[in-house]
Amino acid sequence: MQSEVIMAGFGGQGIMLIGKILAYAGMEEGKEVSWLPSYGPEMRGGTANCTVVLSDQPIGSPVVDSPFGLVVLNRPSLDRFAPNLKRNGILIINKSLIDVLSPREDVDTVYIPCNDIAMECGTGKAANMVALGAYIGRSQIVKLETVYEQIKSQFSGNQKLISLNMAALKKGYDLSKKDQTSV
């Protein structure tokens, strides 16, 4: 079984980081993984995206046109990537910054106010973790506990950041289990 997800947003929103955490978690659970960043001439405020593939088999193409999952933290990313999402795929929309409905009726769309929830946890910067939590909750692609461990090692030594990010991840995870399929 193979599962691909594209994560996209503004540069500075922590898109690359949540992709890496997912890839690390997949590797820890014994899966084949690849993490491919967009590395165009971008800057803070520009667009950023990465493609993560998790698979039971050696991964063929790390380049993915139509992924199973899509996590979008801003509007341009939704416009760009949503049309290619696989049928019955999962679409996580950051409701805090995206004020339109999903253009797709044939996918499982989850609306999460990532920035607002992150603010409740202590900082809007953790919006990426809320989104990652929501994707993991909805897809069950890796276990929540495995991702906790990766957060611990990514923010090694900084207890405050670890608990904040873990809380944000958990909130996103829990929210995705409830019905969030309408705005």
Partner 1 sequence: MAKKLMKGCEALGEAAIQAGCLHFFGYPITPQTEVPEYLSRRLPEVGGVYVQAESEVAASNMIYGCAAAGVRVFTSSSSPGISLMAEAVSYMAGSQLPVVIVNIVRGGPGLGGILPAQSDYWQATRGIGHGDFRVIVLAPSTVQEAADLMIEAFDLADQYRNPVMIIGDGIIGQMMEPVEFKKREKKQLPEKIWAASGAKGRAANKIHSLFLDPVKLEQHNIFLKKKYDEVEKNEQRFELYNTEKPYDLLIVAYGTMARICKTSIALLQEENISIGLARPISLYPYPYKAIQEAARKAKQVLVVELSMGQMIDDVRLAVEGQRPVHFYGRSGGMVPSPEEVCRELKRILAQKT
Positions that interact with partner 1 (CB under 8 A) = 20, 23-24, 27, 32-37, 39-41, 59-66
Of 51 and 77, nearer to partner 1 (C-beta) is 51
Q: How far is the CB of 93 from partner 1 (least distance, A)?
A: 24
List own/partner pairs for 12-17 with CB under 8 A and 24 or more apart: 12/44, 12/45, 12/48, 13/48, 13/73, 13/74, 13/127, 13/128, 14/125, 14/127, 14/128, 14/129, 15/48, 15/49, 15/50, 15/73, 15/128, 16/48, 16/50, 17/128, 17/154
Of 95 and 152, nearer to partner 1 (C-beta) is 152
**Closest Cα partner for 48 from 17, 78, 9, 22?**
9
Of 12 and 60, nearer to partner 1 (C-beta) is 60
- DSSP H helical ranges for 83-158: 114-121, 127-139, 144-154
Burial class (CB in 10 A: 0-12, 13-18, 19+), 27: middle
**Closest Cα partner for 99 from 127, 79, 117?**
79
Q: How far is the CB of 149 from partner 1 (least distance, A)?
A: 14
Of 107 and 117, nearer to partner 1 (C-beta) is 107
Q: How far is the CB of 144 from partner 1 (least distance, A)?
A: 20
Q: How far is the CB of 95 from partner 1 (least distance, A)?
A: 30
Of 123 and 155, nearer to partner 1 (C-beta) is 155
Q: How far is the CB of 113 from partner 1 (least distance, A)?
A: 30
